[in-house]
Amino acid sequence: MLRGSRTLSPADAEKNVIIKGWAQEIRNLGGISFLIIRDRYGLVQVTAPKKKVSPEVMSTLTSLSRESVVKVTGVAKAANQVKGGVEVIPESIEVLSPAASPLPMGVVDKVNVEADTRYDHRFMDLRKPEARAVFEIKSVAHNLIDQFLVDEGFVEVFTPKIVASGAEGGSTLFQLKYFDRPAYLAQSPQLYKQMLMSTGLDRVFEIGPAFRAEPSDTVRHVSEFISFDGEMAFIDSMKDVLDIIERCTQAVIKGLESRVGPQLETLNTTISVPKAPYPVIEYKDAVDMVQGAGMKLELGDDLGTEGEKSLGEIMKEKGHDMYWIVEYPEEAKPFYIMEKDGTPYSYSFDLDYMGQEISSGGQREHRYDRLVERMRKKGLDPESFRFYLDAFQYGMPPHGGWGLGVERMLQKMLNLSNIRETILFPRDRIRLVP
């Protein structure tokens, strides 16, 4: 029997089995040797009493180095004293790939390894079940988002990541050489998903990389992250967008609760579905609330990390993990956001999760003249956005959308201290390798 998608159980007793995996632990006690093999699904103990196994098996076991990749053929036996209730008596052991020693870092050692050492040897770090579990959860989350939006009539799209202009402010653009011209890595699919609103693909989404040259080192910023973007046409108001995101985040977290039980157990954590409907807080009320909590903040200011945290605590007390902050000052929002006429505010929103922004969006300015006006107001040259503006001149429906940081959401949901734990090979100001 070849091990498939599970660990051995007592029900496998007396079966012939083939186990493939990494030699996590080897103990040679003279008369008997033990080998703990680890694979994606768990651990299996191979027990080799000298009297019952061949001399070849014994000599392979005594010379085996930790973390080598092995293939063991043998018979499963019920064993009460063994964790999992089953062990394997080996008939043969083949070393598929020997591991050099010493190891660059331990896999099971209890000692605290520095984060840098872990990320330098990420292939080794990811052998730890708790490091790996996050990525199994991330994969299911992606799957659940996909499923929800497709059911809602959204089309998954793939927009270019090499672009001629950014949308989220010049300071975080990565420039690159594109043949003989300068180009940039896309900060978001913003301009492209909006252009699609003029095509008839009236509901689109994309889950893909976004690049930002973030100047500061924080536990929630990296230079390359996965952005879950959506855009929908013919909306009546921003509420239509909030409704989709609210139902989507609910579906994803509920879906995860039922589909990644073992991974959550490995991480020694549980997740809870945020109470819905998510409260809607107007920006100016959010400022009031944060001021009331003793923070110095003026109307018009960005809430900032501390403001978001403080609001998170207030909302937690009221029993809410997710909540909207809407109608930010138009001045604080990008050119493509629609102004709320007669006020200094805009049809914009953030979705905050336990004191941290995870998504931003709003109703877009679809009226050509107003859009150009807003670009000028922001000091941008409309001519450098001509390819985008053209799409607004020949029939552009009212529309709105969002960008949601998948890793930010996972970080909060799984209570991880650093967003980097949710990224296989994180990129930041310092880290470009591996």
Instruction: Please give the positions annotated as active site.
Output: 212, 214, 220-221, 357, 360, 408
Q: Report residue 419 as tokens.
A: 């967003």
Cα gap 303→284, rounded to integer Å: 10
Interface with ligand ATP, residue 211, by CB under 6 A: no
Please report whether residue 239 would count as binding ligand ATP according to CB under 6 A.
no
Is 363 a residue that touches Mg ion (CB under 5 A)?
no
Residues binding ligand ATP: what is the number (CB under 6 A)?
17
Indicate whether 408 belongs to the interface with ligand ATP (CB under 6 A).
yes
Residue 68, contacted partner among ligand ATP, Mg ion, none, CB below 5-8 A by kind: none
Q: Closest residue (Cβ) to ligand ATP?
A: 405
Which tokens belong to 425? 């090979």
Q: Which residues contact 375 (CB under 8 A, 6 or more apart)?
A: 335, 381, 382, 385
How many H helices and E strands in the chain?
Answer: 12, 16
Both tokens of residue 86?
């089953």
Q: How far is the CB of 144 from ligand ATP (least distance, A)?
A: 17
* Count of C-beta atoms within a 10 Å radius of residue 250: 18
Residues between 324 and 363 that touch ligand ATP (CB under 6 A)? 357-360
- Distance between CA atoms of 89 and 73, rounded to whole angstroms? 8
Q: Which contiguous run of DSSP H or E holds residue 46?
A: strand 42-49
Which residue stretch of 37-45, 87-95, 134-142, 405-413 sits at the interface with ligand ATP (rule: CB under 6 A)? 405-413
211 CB contacts (<8 Å, ≥6 apart)? 161, 174, 185, 186, 187, 223, 224
Neighbours of 18 (CB within 10 A): 13
Closest CB to ligand ATP among 249 and 266?
249
The entry of ligand ATP, Mg ion, none near residue 25 (CB within 5 to 8 angstroms by kind) is none
Q: Check binding of 222 to ligand ATP (CB under 6 A).
A: yes
DSSP state, residue 104? S
As beta bridge partners, residue 400 has 232, 363
Which of ligand ATP, Mg ion, none binds 401 (CB below 5-8 Å, type-dependent)?
none
405 binds ligand ATP (CB under 6 A): yes
What DSSP string runs through 60-83?
Answer: HHHHPPTT-EEEEEEEEEE-TTST
User: Which is nearer to Mg ion, 257 or 357 (by Cβ)?
Assistant: 357
HSE on the CB side for 15, CA within 13 Å? 13
Taking the C-alpha atoms of residue 419 and residue 384, their distance in angstroms, rounded to an integer, is 34
Output 233 or 358, the one with its CB closest to ligand ATP. 358
Task: Enter the DSSP assignment of 384.
Answer: G
Q: Verify binding: residue 359, Mg ion, rule CB under 5 A.
A: no
Q: Is there binding between residue 221 and ligand ATP (CB under 6 A)?
A: yes
Please measure the distance between the N-terminal and C-terminal CA atoms of the chain and give it in whole angstroms.
37
Q: Which of 360, 363, 411, 422 binds Mg ion (CB under 5 A)?
A: 360
Report d(CA 164, CA 184) in Å as an integer.
6
Q: Phi, psi (5° rounding) for residue 332?
A: -85, -5
Q: Cβ 255 to Mg ion, closest distance in Å? A: 25
Q: Which amino acid is at 114?
A: E
Asked whether position 25 contacts ligand ATP by CB under 6 A, the answer is no
227 binds, among ligand ATP, Mg ion, none (CB under 5 to 8 A by kind): ligand ATP
**Region of 169-177, 184-192, 323-331, 356-364 interacting with Mg ion (CB under 5 A):** 356-364
Q: Is 212 in the site for ligand ATP (CB under 6 A)?
A: yes
Least Å distance between CB 81 and Mg ion? 55
- Kindly tell me which of 3 and 309 has the beta carbon lying closer to Mg ion: 309
Measured from the CB of residue 214, what is the shortest distance to ligand ATP in angstroms? Answer: 5
Q: Which of residues 70-129 bind ligand ATP (CB under 6 A)?
A: none
Q: Does 166 bind ligand ATP (CB under 6 A)?
A: no
Residue 308 and residue 290: Cα distance in Å, rounded? 8
58 in helix, strand or coil?
A: helix
From the list 5-13, 64-72, 354-362, 370-378, the region that binds Mg ion by CB under 5 A is: 354-362
Residue 248 vs 404, nearer CB to ligand ATP? 404
- Least separation in angstroms between residue 357's CB and Mg ion is 6
Binding of ligand ATP at residue 301 (CB under 6 A)?
A: no
Residue number with CB closer to Mg ion (67 or 229): 229
In the chain, the amino acid numbered 85 is G
242 near ligand ATP, rule: CB under 6 A: no
> Would you say 352 and 360 are in contact if contact means Cβ atoms under 8 Å apart?
no
Could you identify the residue written with the tokens 């909006």?
Answer: 194
Residues that bind Mg ion (CB under 5 A): 360
Residues that bind ligand ATP (CB under 6 A): 168, 212, 214, 221-222, 225, 227, 357-360, 403-405, 407-408, 419
